[in-house]
């Protein structure tokens, strides 16, 4: 083996020297910079061919003969010395595949590569490692793609959660800033309105003192036409309120039509007493044989006994039911009755059993009309919760109870107007059946604004802008008829 070294200032010049000395088929063994010049170690192609030819041709194994029996190596090694020429192949019979021995380590490589591999290994052992011929490091063990995918998914989920939290915080800050700006602008707007039209401030005090919500008061005052004095403005407010109260004209249609009515509502609103008052009116109109009473109050001690006493006085049978199945059976047996009144158990509007009670009445197999009893002494917020809880699919109407105990009734009228309820009766005492009356719109509105002079004085000029700014927008007020 004749390895030659060539040096030049650049790689191009060194390669040119190699091409001139050894020809274009020379084999480059190394190429490295040494002391400011480029050093190339090269070998003539003829030397490589000589190294590729073995000194003695060993007889081939039967399996090897069968692998390349048709290959003639003479043209490939035509330039090798005659002493190393392979012997002429002897005639041989192809060995059967079943008896073929195991191939060597190079059986899967081409013929020339198998013959030249030992020589190339010897050359590589003699050449020092350089940055050109050094081997790549052993490959790392395989990466668990499932674990990597899980880690990436967890990182992405964490990034999304962090971004969502940041976005939520930013939106909360924007909403807070918006609310603050709206409050300040509303206060400035109301101050300007109060200075320009002082009668509106007077009407606002009257409505707030009567128990109406700031939302309804703000809506009506914004829609109120320009007037000369507060009395005229208050008359306009009363007219609009009375126009938007829905009541029944007379009870003849209700009593003559009959049907199944269920009185619902929270505990202590007077459902049982109101049921007895309605029963007395039906008995006076159609007789005791046309009426039936049902009670579902099996929890309150003596609850069903109170209704039984009323039924005994009126001569009406009282049926007690516990669940939906009993109610179905009772209504089926009483289908020939003209009117059936159901006294339901009272429960808080926040109790989950309210939904079950509404479902029981709706799926009883009969057209049960639910009448909601509203306590006139409750606050506006409480009454709104009660209506939302007992609303269900629909309410046939409502009955205002405990009118005699309420200091103001604007809160009940406000809820009836905003929730679009049909007001049937008002109850103002415990007497049966005297203390049950048809709802009179004009009387109710007039009573709401009566005797509230002392209450209106508690709202100062400095409080009105803040209350008007805090009053939100209610979409249900869009259906209020202004006339």
pLDDT tens-digit readout, 469-483? 556 555 656 567 665
* Mean pLDDT (whole number) for 115-121: 51
Percentage of residues in the chain with pLDDT exceeding 70?
69
* Mean pLDDT (whole number) for 39-46: 83
Q: Which of 9-18, 87-96, 317-326 has the lowest mean pLDDT?
A: 87-96
Percentage of residues in the chain with pLDDT exceeding 90?
12
Q: Which of 91-105, 338-352, 441-455 has the lowest mean pLDDT?
A: 91-105
How does 370-406 read in b/e, with b if 16+ C-beta sit within 10 Å?
bbbbbbbbbebebbbbbbebbebeebbbbbbbbbeeb
| Between 67 and 230, the higher pLDDT residue | 230
Nearest-angstrom CA–CA distance, 402 and 404:
5
Q: Please give the DSSP secondary-structure letter assigned to residue 87.
A: P
pLDDT digit string, tens, across residues 175-224 = 888 877 776 676 666 666 666 677 877 888 888 888 888 888 888 888 88
Nearest-angstrom CA–CA distance, 24 and 65:
35
pLDDT at 339 over 80: yes
| Residue that is written with structure tokens 């709104």 in the block | 384
Q: Any idea how long the chain is?
A: 483
Nearest-angstrom CA–CA distance, 381 and 260:
30
Its pTM stands at 0.59
pLDDT at res. 452: 62
| Between 317 and 302, the higher pLDDT residue | 317
Q: Which of 27-36, 50-59, 191-200, 237-246 has the lowest mean pLDDT?
A: 50-59
pLDDT at res. 395: 87
Q: Which of 15-19, 67-71, 381-385 has the lowest mean pLDDT?
A: 67-71
Q: Which residues contact 96 (CB under 8 A, 6 or more apart)?
A: none
pLDDT digit string, tens, across residues 139-157 = 455 667 888 888 888 889 8
Nearest-angstrom CA–CA distance, 332 and 339:
13
* Mean pLDDT (whole number) for 373-383: 91
pLDDT at res. 66: 41
Q: Using 50, 70 and 90 to split pLDDT, how confident is the model at 4? A: confident
H-only helix segments in 44-144: 45-52, 62-67, 111-126
H-only helix segments in 296-408: 303-314, 324-333, 353-362, 380-390
| Residue that is written with structure tokens 């880690």 in the block | 151
Q: Using 50, 70 and 90 to split pLDDT, how confident is the model at 341? A: very high
| Residue that is written with structure tokens 């300007």 in the block | 192
Closest CA to 180 of 468, 465, 470: 470
* Mean pLDDT (whole number) for 97-106: 44
Name 401's bridge partners: 375
């Amino acid at each position: 083996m004749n390895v030659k070294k060539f040096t030049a200032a650049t790689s191009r010049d060194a390669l040119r020297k190699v091409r001139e000395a050894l020809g274009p088929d020379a084999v480059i063994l190394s190429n490295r910079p040494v002391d400011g010049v480029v050093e190339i170690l090269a070998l003539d192609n003829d030397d490589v061919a000589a190294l590729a030819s073995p000194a003695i041709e060993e007889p081939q194994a039967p399996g090897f003969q069968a692998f390349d029996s048709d290959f003639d190596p003479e043209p490939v090694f035509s330039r090798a010395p005659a002493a190393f020429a392979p012997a002429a192949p002897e005639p041989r019979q192809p060995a059967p595949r079943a008896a073929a021995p195991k191939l060597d380590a190079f059986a899967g490589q081409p013929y020339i590569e198998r013959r030249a591999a030992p020589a190339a290994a010897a050359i590589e052992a003699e050449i020092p490692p350089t940055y050109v011929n050094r081997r790549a490091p052993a490959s790392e063990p395989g990466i668990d793609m499932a674990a990597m995918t899980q880690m990436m998914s967890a990182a992405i989920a964490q990034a999304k959660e962090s971004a969502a939290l940041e976005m939520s915080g930013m939106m909360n800050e924007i909403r807070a800033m918006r609310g603050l700006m709206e409050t300040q602008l509303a206060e400035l707007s109301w101050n300007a309105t109060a200075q320009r039209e002082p009668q509106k401030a007077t009407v606002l005090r009257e409505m707030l003192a009567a128990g109406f919500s700031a939302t309804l008061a703000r809506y009506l005052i914004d829609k109120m036409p320009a007037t000369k004095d507060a009395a005229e403005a208050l008359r306009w407010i009363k007219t609009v309120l009375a126009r938007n109260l829905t009541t029944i004209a007379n009870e003849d249609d209700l009593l003559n039509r009959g049907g199944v009515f269920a009185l619902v509502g929270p505990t202590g609103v007077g459902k049982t007493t109101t049921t007895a008052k309605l029963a007395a009116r039906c008995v006076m109109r159609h007789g005791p044989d046309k009426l039936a009473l049902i009670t579902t109050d099996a929890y309150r001690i003596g609850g069903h006994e109170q209704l039984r006493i009323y039924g005994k006085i009126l001569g009406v049978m009282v049926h007690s039911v516990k669940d939906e199945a009993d109610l179905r059976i009772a209504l089926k047996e009483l289908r020939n009755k003209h009117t059936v009144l159901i006294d339901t158990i009272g429960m808080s509007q926040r109790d989950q059993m309210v939904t079950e009670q509404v479902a029981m009445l709706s799926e009883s197999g009969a057209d049960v009309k639910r009448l909601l009893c509203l306590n006139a002494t409750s606050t506006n917020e409480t009454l709104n919760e009660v209506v939302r809880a007992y609303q269900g699919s629909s309410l046939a109407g409502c009955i205002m109870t405990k009118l005699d105990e309420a200091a103001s009734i604007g809160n009940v009228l406000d809820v009836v107007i905003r929730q679009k309820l049909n007001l049937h009766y008002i109850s103002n005492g415990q007497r049966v059946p005297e203390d049950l009356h048809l709802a009179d719109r004009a009387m109710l509105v007039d009573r709401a604004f009566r005797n509230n002079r002392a209450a209106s004085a508690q709202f100062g000029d400095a409080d009105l802008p803040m209350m008007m700014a805090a009053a939100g927008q209610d979409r249900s007020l869009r259906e209020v008829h202004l006339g």
